[in-house]
Amino acid sequence: MAPSPTARGWSYARAGVDVARRSRALAGLLAGVRYHPPPTHGRPVELPGHFAGLVRIGRETIAITTDTVGTKVLLAAQLGRWEEVGEDIVGINVNDLAAVGARTAGLVDVILCARPEDAAFAAIGRGLDRGLRAAECALLGGETAIVPEIVDGIDLGGTAIGFFPRGRRPVTGGRIRPGDRILGIPSVGLHSNGYTLARRLLTESHVDLDQPRPGAAVPVGPELLVPTRVYAQASDAIAERSETHGLVHLSGGGVRNLARLHPEVSFVLDRWPEAPPLFGWLQRLGSLPDEEMFRTFNMGIGFAAIVSPTHLAETRRRLARAGAADALEIGHVERGSGIEVPALGLRYEGYE
């Protein structure tokens, strides 16, 4: 499904993110990588969905994932606030580990910058600490590169590793079946996705970041900087239960991420809650269609678990004890394929 230009001509692609072109280039890159090491160097485990890579080392299976905060750092720079995006370095990565059911073990951060600014770095450190606490994760190292010819401002990213406690297996989504229920856990704000588009909307509409949007208590700038919610503990609480058939981080690509779990079922999001007002306000700024909103932003749900219908209440209790008492049923699984939001007439064929 191609991105839909809107009345005002905005879409994620028009805002500078050409996903199809990236996919093509990436396919070309991966076509060149053919090497498979001997088993003495660990045994990679095939995992559909690719939220994380897995490698078997001795009796342990290690999960690894890497991600950057993306253009949210430009908003941080504009506002001179770095603690939130420092915290995001952790959230964006550990939530991908959470999506395969791995328990977090450690993180390395990568900072690329034009020049090292003491105040920004100190704030990033405080943010990292907050994220690490939320994820119960150690900082195992990092890299700081001063590359003024490559980077304007500061780029933030990292890599997280996790593992599977004895008796737990990776959650692949392979056991998802029609009749399963989908439990969503709310997001807080945009997390770390869709900022290229969001920032364009703000600029085009001459939004003052120091003023609240109508109905909001905090100014738009800080509201948009709120860090990614960490779902590590929620995942950890249910990942080794046999009734947990799938886990998904609704990051870049929005609800379409569900298709990464299983290509041969239909995810019907017939109980999607009303999106928080921030999303509606952004949508109106750009006169964006729902189809574009749900493919770009998390629309209020940042993580979801696909569980057996017989264990719905029990799973909610487990999630509640792990800090996700706000988990709610957002849909169910049917025969078919793709993702639907019936109330809005939306249908996506898959992730790409």
The verdict on 53 binding a copy of itself (CB under 8 A) reads yes
Q: In what order do the strands lie in the sheet with 154-163?
A: 43-45, 53-57, 60-68, 154-163, 103-113, 138-146
List all residues 6 or more positions away from 217 whose beta carbon is below 8 Å from its beta carbon.
none
Query: What minimum distance in Å lies between the beta carbon of 150 and a copy of itself?
Result: 5
Contact pick of 1, 5, 80, 145 for a copy of itself (by CB under 8 A): 145
The verdict on 13 binding a copy of itself (CB under 8 A) reads no
Encode 279-311 in three state secondary structure: HHHHHHHHCCCHHHHHHHCCCCEEEEEEECHHH
Contact pick of 122, 218, 325, 343 for a copy of itself (by CB under 8 A): 122
Contact pick of 1, 26, 218, 343 for a copy of itself (by CB under 8 A): 26
Q: Look at the alpha carbons of 204, 206, 212, 216 in this order and tell me if their dihedral is positive or negative.
A: negative
User: For residue 197, what are its two tokens?
Assistant: 């588009």
Number of C-beta neighbours around residue 164 at 10 A: 20
Q: In what order do the strands lie in the sheet with 181-186?
A: 244-249, 301-307, 181-186, 328-335, 265-268, 339-341, 346-348
Closer residue to a copy of itself (CB): 150 or 343? 150
How far is it, in rounded angstroms, from Cα 221 to Cα 133?
25
The verdict on 79 binding a copy of itself (CB under 8 A) reads no
Applying CB under 8 A, what is the total number of residues that bind a copy of itself? Answer: 94
Q: Are 215 and 318 within 8 A, CB to CB? A: no
How far is it, in rounded angstroms, from Cα 154 to Cα 150?
10
Query: What minimum distance in Å lies between the beta carbon of 196 and a copy of itself?
Result: 8
For a copy of itself, what does the binding mask look like between residues 160 and 189, x meaning CB under 8 A? -x-x-xx-----------------------
Contact pick of 18, 290, 329, 334 for a copy of itself (by CB under 8 A): 18
The verdict on 21 binding a copy of itself (CB under 8 A) reads yes
Closer residue to a copy of itself (CB): 35 or 345? 35
How far is it, in rounded angstroms, from Cα 155 to Cα 152?
8
Query: What minimum distance in Å lies between the beta carbon of 65 and a copy of itself?
Result: 6
Contact pick of 108, 188, 226, 312 for a copy of itself (by CB under 8 A): 108
The verdict on 149 binding a copy of itself (CB under 8 A) reads yes
Contact pick of 146, 218, 325, 343 for a copy of itself (by CB under 8 A): 146
Contact pick of 9, 58, 214, 215 for a copy of itself (by CB under 8 A): 58
* E strand or H helix that includes residue 35: none
Give the binding range for a copy of itself (CB under 8 A) out of 149-157, 172-180, 210-218, 273-281: 149-157
The verdict on 314 binding a copy of itself (CB under 8 A) reads no
User: For residue 52, what are its two tokens?
Assistant: 């994380």
The verdict on 341 binding a copy of itself (CB under 8 A) reads no
Contact pick of 1, 48, 80, 115 for a copy of itself (by CB under 8 A): 115
